[in-house]
Amino acid sequence: MSEPLDIVILGGGTAGWMAAAALVSLIPPTRCRVRLVESEEIGIVGVGEATFPEIKNFNDAIGVNEAEMMRATNGAFKLGIEFVDWGFKGSRYIHPFGVHGPAHMEHIFHHVWLRGLRLGSKSDIDEYSFAAQAARNCRFEFPETRRQTINSAYTYAYHFDANLYCLYLRGLAEQRGVMRTEGKVRDVIQDPESGDIRSLVLESGETISGDLFIDCSGFRSLLLANALGVGWDDWSKWLPCDRAFAVPSERDELSPYTRSTAMEAGWRWRIPLQHRTGNGYVFSSSFIDENEAADSLMRNLETRALGEPRMLKFQTGRRTVGWKKNCVAVGLASGFFEPLESTSIYLIQLAIMQLVPLLPDKSIDPRLRDEFNRLINLQYERIRDFLILHYKLTSRDDAEIWRYCAAMDVPESLTRKIELFRHGAIIERYKDGLFTPTSWLSVFIGQGLIPESYSPIADAMPAEKLICHLDEFRTEIRDRVDEMRRHDRFIDPYCAAKPPVVPVASEALQ
């Protein structure tokens, strides 16, 4: 057996510690040794207090106990995202983590529902999603494991304090053998011929060499961009927000969903945790000035603020490749999307879970690297289109940003998707991509795009029978949701955090 691969992770934010925890948990020390270099002087962004259901797969894979993790992070459950005032003022819809309609009708249900509308049924599509209804009623239970039951067809994610999650993973990773080195990087030494990174020189003078470097240095992308010169695809013309203010406020109702409210120059988030509510305003500096944005955020808080708003600057886009030579970027070093659909932690997880099975040997096989880059690019582009959809599909004309977005040209891949849905409620499926047809459906409909027509197959059922089926299904959901426990009552026995757990210094910025 050859010598283990020496992996050096630069940066100890969410990306760095997720990578460290996964590598040390999934790959034995005979195959790789993991070191993580971070500096306590450098703040972390702590992206994403809101997550996507895939995170449960990640936690399960690396052996995280869910209840323990939630206690340690003030975590709460999440069944979807509510969008308020997107599409048009006064609109309100949920992007649920579960299908609309009965599971066996997944491909045809929305056509049946559209026919129902034509026949005069006044129901909202949310009313056919178990997850959406449970969310609206502040209920939570684990999904039923027997398939084909009405309460089995959904998944869930978490709201948690990302800094505490990061600390939790750090504990786990160090306990399992990751070596942490405190220090700032002064210099990156590259092989003069191959250009591969050989070592990092810290300000202390210590040299840390490695075979594979994982760049988790955040927006600065110290290794991939600075040392290896990988370029940037700028997507800000489609996703114009470039700043966010974040502020915590006192705990409010523990609703099991993220709320996103469209504002005069961006949107505002509300993320309920056990001990507080996370709030933020994501905005475009081209459409509002910073002070005004901060005022708007503070003015709209539903509970008392627990601090001053803190600002974060960003740019939407991605590195043209995520893996070059012997350096793989994970997290913000590889690209950034605003947190509209809670994708930040998912993208970290994706990169790690693609890297693990393709982990190279000391001499890097370019076939593995190319496959990694192909998969990551595919996912980035599909997420990009889905986020742009929220901005493009609006009829709001009360603010400059919305007029700009409604009129902007979007990538052709997205134009096609919108036109197919408009024409006949058609949603193209794909294999590698976070957002399912259910996700696309909820945003299309929720933002007011009612298709011109629907599949003729939905015409085969007699009208009265169809209306009757729709009514029955809605009632079935309502009745079952009524039997569920309230979210806060579910959390109490399962994973209530032991107060007080919130050192002020670790307040997440978002």
Using the rule CB under 8 A, is 455 a contact of another protein?
A: yes
Site string for another protein, 403-432 (x = CB under 8 A): -------------x--xx--xxxx-xxxx-
Using the rule CB under 8 A, is 460 a contact of another protein?
A: yes
Q: Which is nearer to another protein, 186 or 423 (CB)?
A: 423
Interatomic CA distance for residues 92 and 309, integer angstroms: 26
Using the rule CB under 8 A, is 452 a contact of another protein?
A: yes
**Whether the Cβ atoms of residue 161 and residue 510 lie closer than 8 Å to each other:** no
**φ, ψ of residue 246 in degrees (nearest 5):** -130, 145
Instruction: Give the shortest CB-319-to-another protein separation in angstroms.
Output: 21
Instruction: Give the shortest CB-259-to-another protein separation in angstroms.
Output: 29
Q: Which is nearer to another protein, 169 or 466 (CB)?
A: 466
* Sign of the dihedral through C-alpha 489, 494, 497, 499: positive
Using the rule CB under 8 A, is 343 a contact of another protein?
A: no
Interatomic CA distance for residues 436 and 99, integer angstroms: 9
Q: Which is nearer to another protein, 105 or 399 (CB)?
A: 105
Distance of CA 353 to the CA centre of its chain: 15
Segment near another protein (CB under 8 A), from 291-299, 333-341, 453-461, 469-477? 453-461
Site for another protein in 344-403 (CB under 8 A): 356-359, 361, 365, 367-368, 370-371, 374-375
**Whether the Cβ atoms of residue 196 and residue 182 lie closer than 8 Å to each other:** no
Q: Which is nearer to another protein, 106 or 295 (CB)?
A: 106
**Whether the Cβ atoms of residue 480 and residue 130 lie closer than 8 Å to each other:** yes
Using the rule CB under 8 A, is 456 a contact of another protein?
A: yes
User: What does the block give as tokens for 17?
Assistant: 């510690």
Site for another protein in 109-128 (CB under 8 A): 118
How many chain residues interact with another protein (CB under 8 A)?
Answer: 43
Site string for another protein, 46-75 (x = CB under 8 A): -----------x---x--------------
Interatomic CA distance for residues 133 and 76, integer angstroms: 17
Q: Which helix (H) or strand (E) segment is 31 a member of?
A: none
Segment near another protein (CB under 8 A), from 43-51, 315-323, 326-334, 449-457? 449-457
Residue 500: cis peptide before it, omega within 30 degrees of 0: yes
Which of 350, 36, 279 minimizes the C-alpha distance to 173?
36
User: What does the block give as tokens for 261?
Assistant: 């409210």
152 burial via Cβ count (<10 Å: 0-12, 13-18, 19+): middle
**What are the residues binding another protein (CB under 8 A)?**
26-28, 30-32, 57, 61, 107, 118, 356-359, 361, 365, 367-368, 370-371, 374-375, 416, 419-420, 423-426, 428-431, 452-461
